[in-house]
Structure 1
Amino acid sequence: MTLPILNNTPTPPAPQGMPWLRLAFRPFYLGAALLAALIVPLWVAVFLGALQWQPAPQPLLWHAHEMLFGFAVAVIVGFLMTAGKSWTGLQTPRGPALGALFLLWLSARVASLVAPYAVFAVLDLALLPIIGLIFLRLLIQSRNWRNVPLALILLLLTLVNLSFHLAVNGQIELDPMRSLYAALGFVVIIECVMAGRVVPFFTTSALPNLKIITLPWLDHTALAATVLGMALWVTGWHSGLAAGALGMAFALNLVRQLRWHPLAILGRPILWILHAAHLWLILGLGLLALAQLGLVTTSLGVHALGVGATGGLILGMMTRTARGHTGRPLAADAPEMAIYVLIMLAAVLRVLLPWLVPSLYLSSLVASAAAWSAAFLIYLWQYTPWLVSARPDGKDG
């Protein structure tokens, strides 16, 4: 007589709640992609005079602010609130709580278009401190001290955003663009930290025979030079020192990336997009250094960091993490290939072409906006069904 084999392994509970509110990357990636696809063409139409419209702040400040505190912050929130669960083993906001946080972000974006400035400012200032404190509590509770600086950056971004709104309203004597430069600086610092962690890790995971030996002193020195260079640039204290620090950051980050064997991953798009975007970060630092010496415009460095580095890294991470957390293969299909090519094309058209052929500035601006928007529209077309539905393997997340 054969006895049945009993399986005493408990069956995990079935996932609860609406799938798109189970982890923060789902609503915030969708919101960020939709915002990115819409506001860049809107800004170009306003800039060229094709559309007569006045947002809450003046158009240039609105454009820069929404790219940073609307688009980039949404991705940062979605990523950190998702990664935070893995890093700490603790539950991050989900369900109605996550929905409320997303609606707060969304309401600020709508308010920037149609509401009185005071309403926009209040809504816009509310999200980051809430997220920063939630994230900080998770890290402290789990004793995950390594990532505490990321939580502090979220809280510092709140102060930067506050200084922007106060400056726009004339309540403090500060050029609002300085606040936006500071926000870009913090975004670049986050990118520098996260790229140093994920790019070599993802590369060796995909290519086990490839050995990447990270040098902590090099990572720390590159980050320190980047922080110093961005701080000197933002404050405008001494252009010569800023140029030197940014030049050092350029060189150290370049050496660091060369140690990641970027040529070994050319056949893997889901990897090369991260390497390519990091190259734009390096180029942006170099262009800002040249700008301090009056050799190029500051706009070239800002857009190398904003379009090439931030746009490229965000789409690289939004595709990879969304695939991983929805239970799909970590490989790029045709839509991802199109997304990666378009975002890199957008950067070339916005930075390199106007630099080399200034007479083509307006044409390149329009073409860059079209490529940028198309990249995020393709992301929405490919990923929206995945982000709003349950994982095919039945797991939570």
Structure 2
Amino acid sequence: MGVLDEVTRRPVSSIGWHEARRRARESARPLPAADVPLAEAAGAVLAEPLVALCPLPAYDAAAMDGYAVAGAGPWRIVGRVLAGDPAPTAPLTAGTAVEIGTGAVVPEGAGAVLPYERAARTGLVVTGTIPPGRHIRRRGEDCPAGQEVLPAGTPAGPVVLGLAAGLGHDTLTVHRRPRVGLVVTGGELCRAGIPRIGQVRDALGPMLPGLICDTGGEPVWEARLADDRAAMAAALLRPGADVLVVCGATSAGAADHLRGVLDTLAARVPVRGVACRPGHPQLFAVLPDGRFVVGLPGNPYAALVAALTLLSPLLGRLAGRTAPPTPTAVLAGPVTPHDRDTRLVPVTRLASSVVPVGHDRPASLWGAAGADALAIVPPRWTGGEVELLPLPAVRH
């Protein structure tokens, strides 16, 4: 179980908040890479730079509907070409034009595209003025073939998938997303409706899958346990997940079995507690077979803090994501620092500063739900800038 401090009742081995995050991230390496179809790459991270397999545009293309013209006007219309038509075989000669649609292949010899709205047509003759080179997207002007356009470590979001397709890719080389098993403990939890006296509504089960996905992981199974040591041991031995997230059972009470089971399983425990408020009973362990365990406190806001402290950097590293830069801002408003622990305070932006939202007790998600980020308030903070931990964005 570990030795508890007689005053704080927390593990004496608690470490600083920044050090805990560092240990969680640096204990892992990116998971192996594989080539997968574009649709299966969504949410994964590029294991190799994204390189253009073809130029963009792939050919000289019309950027407007109108007339591809050669030389000075007036021009005699000698044909028509629309998007999807094969390239014209004969080059345009001076004084001739073809009617053309946006995205169509521009014939060799054309010097510009004269838009309909700037053209006057009489029969097969068109007149107008247009500077040379206008409204033609030349082959490779956006991106030549062989150009590296995105570095390894870039998440493959919807826009990245669209770009990859436009550059000729059918597959992408990505790191496998870490598989996460979720273990929710507590006989007092109810999953639906209004809890009766002695029960509490489970908030972690609905919250954690979205957070796991947001930080690069893939929830694969969920187990719900009573406060039972044997059941905890069985859950930690269950296969199919790279990371096991245990909710509750992380403290040192009579019903908290996680620490004892980890010791029985000969797990390495780089983080046995974190000097932060809320969330100090969190822990991070590595099982002998290489799988990871993240222990979260049972109180919802404390669990969110712990998940962002340990789970998010771990999943990001396993998924191959580069560590994001840490934003900072001036923290304005009434915040009381702790003399020993880092405080994590829900804040929202106001002009160039951030202000506390309030409602930040360990058991309440009210403040975090209305916040943009958590302010990292160091011990004995005296004002000024603080680091920010952005909260997961809403996914539409």
TM-score strictly above 0.5: no
| TM-score tier after normalising by the smaller chain length | under 0.3
TM-score, reference length from structure 2: 0.25
More helix by share: 1
